Amino acid sequence: MISIDDSTKIKNIKPLTLQALQKVFDLYEITPKSNVLLWSNTSKNKVSEKLAKTFLQRLNQLGCTTSVIIEKEKTKLGPASKKTQKCILSLTQGDIFISIGAGNRGYVEQNGKHVLMRKLMKKQGFRMVSLGGLDSIKLHRINSFFESFNHNQKEINSLNKKIKNLLEKTKTIKITCPKGSNLTMELNKNPVISNDGNWKKYSTNYPIGEVYTAPKEDSCNGIAFVSSAKVSGKTILPKKPIKFIFEKGLLKSTNSKEINSNLKYVEKFNKKNNILNWKTAPRTIAEFAIGTNRKASIVGAMICDEKTLGTCHFAIGNNKHLGGKTYCHGHFDNVIKNPTIWFDGKKIMTNGKLLF
């Protein structure tokens, strides 16, 4: 791991008192012998800097060997800085990458090609704790975001196992909600992934608490009403749920000007980068998931919103990292509150309450 120290850029930031932080260190097995790359960027609400300073303080207390990168927030899609890419590519077996960001963080390239982070982790043997999109958190909801760290590990493990076992046998999913959602999709043999903090299997982002898979890309049909929506660099919390209409796997329309504007921007970016199906790929159904973290709530940061117990979410765009077929720049999650869900005609959730 390359040695670098940008810690002076956050020297005047006051760390948080966050007792639940120890759960992160325990889950990801961060010890005094760990080599850690801590990456963060600036944010309007200062959440990413405060959290980075809190992690750094604990890493220093433990005596870890820590490299620190603090950069300005990126406002557009594109590769990470050369400094950041070089440091990430230097990570080896047993190293830990803690990424705490606001907005777009950028991606890694090798030989001019976008490298999927999970493939890089598997190839080089490092593990990653990812906390992103923090700039969107509403100031009055910051404490609620940190409450999600204080999860019940046994409950999440139990719920995730039950949902995973059911999803692995499921072929069709139907979702409704009190706001008017009526959405269907089909599954194939893509992996069903449990985000429970077990980094040895797959989990990378934090807070934890979801089970997800990639549906058949041409199978989604119907209407969804969304209470939290991801666009490039931020999460939208609309005053009224946003309407999505799907046909044969493609998002045909939405009543959100911001989402439509983001899709046009992403299409243009993908076309510029010679992505196959640059127009349809960002609109293609990419993911179905159920949140399982009782301590999480919808705060305006998708990394927390999507984990909230009593919600499900779907995504459009890239799903190669989930075992799907679609590759493009952009993966945009959308949360449905209080859903009623059927797996192969059997109801497994009613108005956000799991029936097991």
pLDDT in tens, 7-23: 999 999 999 888 889 99
Domains contained in the chain, CATH given? 7-136 (3.40.50), 153-354 (no CATH)
Contacts of 326 (CB under 8 A, 6+ apart): 217, 277, 281, 284, 286, 317, 318, 319, 320
Could you give the percent of the chain with pLDDT greater than 90?
Answer: 81
- Check pLDDT > 80 for residue 111: yes
User: What is the Cα gyration radius of the chain?
Assistant: 19
Compute the distance between CA of residue 161 and CA of residue 37 in angstroms, rounded to an integer. 31
> What amino acid is encoded at 173 in this protein?
I
- pLDDT value for 73: 82
State the sign of the Cα–Cα–Cα–Cα dihedral 312, 225, 169, 321: negative
pLDDT at residue 103 greater than cutoff 80: no
Supply the pTM of this predicted model: 0.93
Q: Who has greater pLDDT, 247 or 102?
A: 247
The mean pLDDT of the chain is: 94
What pLDDT sits at residue 34?
97
Q: Does pLDDT of 65 surpass 80?
A: yes
Q: Tell me, what's the pLDDT at 126?
A: 94
pLDDT at 200: 81
Least confident of 60-69, 194-203, 222-231, 293-302: 194-203
Average pLDDT, stretch 228-256? 96
Whether 158 has a pLDDT exceeding 70, the answer reads yes
For 264: left if phi > 0, alpha if psi spans -120 to 50, otherwise beta; the answer is alpha
**Residues 249-288: pLDDT tens digits?**
999 999 999 999 999 999 999 999 999 999 999 999 999 9
Q: For residue 169, name the pLDDT band (cuts at 50, 70, 90).
A: very high
Q: What pLDDT score does 76 carry?
A: 79
Residue type, 136: S
| pLDDT over threshold 70, residue 160 | yes
| DSSP code at position 140 | G
pLDDT band at 112 (very low <50, low <70, confident <90, very high): confident
Q: The tokens of 210 are what?
A: 């979801």
User: Around Cβ 248, how many Cβ atoms within 10 Å?
Assistant: 12
Q: For position 74, what pLDDT does the model report?
A: 79
88 confidence band (pLDDT: 50, 70, 90): very high
The H-assigned helical ranges of the chain are: 21-27, 47-62, 82-89, 117-124, 142-147, 153-167, 257-272, 302-305
Name, in order, each residue with C-beta under 8 angstroms of 197's C-beta and a sequence gap of 6 or more: 27, 28, 153, 156, 203, 206, 208
How confident is the model over 29-62, as pLDDT tens digits? 999 999 999 999 988 888 899 999 999 999 999 9
Name the pLDDT band for 203 (thresholds 50, 70, 90).
low
**Does 204 have pLDDT greater than 70?**
yes
